[in-house]
A = this chain, B = another copy of it.
Amino acid sequence: MIKSKPRPTFAPSTQIDMPKAKPIAKESSTEEKIKEAARKLFTQKGFAATRTRDIADEAGINLALLNYYFRSKQKLFDIIMMENFRQFIHGISFNFQDKTLSLEQKIEKVVSMYIDFLTANPDLPLFILTELRNNPDQLAASIEGEIGETRTELFAQLKVAHAAGYIGIEPSHLVANLFGLTVFPFVARPILQKVTGADDTQFNNLMQQRKELIPIWIKTMLQPPKPTK
């Protein structure tokens, strides 16, 4: 049972469909099959290198159906892009908003959660970084909407803490280091495996180790400068 979807002659091109609550949870509808195929290919190869025909083949349906459901390649991409991006930053937002956790605890949680997430979605960060460079402003609003308040507040707190000498690192460097240490290995995975000679299993083991190691390294950076003895 699939809902009918009228095709507007002039769809407002700026509007992006938000994911709707599905009335039937388990059934993999045609619309959903197309979206999953599109997510796979767009995330792996990017917008320009992905052919709509390949998406249709991957979904096991006809090319015409793709346009029937999503009207255009661009609109389908916008939906995937938005969902990928929300997923990518949701974990940060979620953990950093938890006021019962100390800064160290927040870092531990975010690192651990992110390493699991990236292990399961290895192509996502490079996709985000690439397409975000192509649409510098499209996602400004998206970032604000998802983590705007938390970001502003947390960043202000960190700046105060640094100015007062409680932490020995500027917040900008802290953010760069936290995500550099956590995300970069997944982005540079092919090079790293080549350089270190690690196979897939060894690589995953190394990433698991980093759940413990990164918070230790970050904590050291956080320590205020020692008083000259």
List the B residue with the shortest CB-CB distance to A205. Answer: B172
Measured CB to CB, the closest approach of chain B to A89, in angstroms, equals 9
A42-50, A70-78, A111-119: which one contacts chain B?
Answer: A42-50
* Interface pair B48/A173, CB less than 8 Å apart: no
> When chains A and B are docked, how far (Å) is the Cα of A32 from the Cα of B195?
33
A5 part of interface (Cβ distance < 8 Å): no
Measured CB to CB, the closest approach of chain B to A31, in angstroms, equals 26
Give the chain B neighbours of A213 by CB distance below 8 A: 173
Name A169-210 residues within 8 Å CB distance of B.
170-173, 175-177, 179-181, 183-185, 187-188, 190-192, 194-198, 206, 209-210
> When chains A and B are docked, how far (Å) is the Cα of A187 from the Cα of B184?
9
Contact of A217 among B155, B210, B221 (CB under 8 A): B221
* Interface pair B129/A187, CB less than 8 Å apart: yes
Give the chain B neighbours of A183 by CB distance below 8 A: 180, 184, 188
List the B residue with the shortest CB-CB distance to A181. Answer: B180
Give the A interface residue count (CB, 8 A). 46
A126 part of interface (Cβ distance < 8 Å): yes
A136 part of interface (Cβ distance < 8 Å): yes
* Interface pair B173/A179, CB less than 8 Å apart: no
List the B residue with the shortest CB-CB distance to A203. Answer: B172
> When chains A and B are docked, how far (Å) is the Cα of A126 from the Cα of B125?
11
Measured CB to CB, the closest approach of chain B to A178, in angstroms, equals 10
- Chain A 207-224 per-residue mask, 1 if CB under 8 angstroms from chain B, else 0: 001100100010011000
Measured CB to CB, the closest approach of chain B to A153, in angstroms, equals 13
A143 part of interface (Cβ distance < 8 Å): yes
Contact of A48 among B46, B129, B191 (CB under 8 A): B46
Measured CB to CB, the closest approach of chain B to A56, in angstroms, equals 18
A4 part of interface (Cβ distance < 8 Å): no
List 14 A-B pairs, Cβ < 8 Å: A47-B49, A49-B49, A126-B129, A129-B188, A132-B190, A155-B195, A173-B206, A173-B213, A176-B210, A179-B188, A180-B181, A180-B184, A217-B220, A217-B221
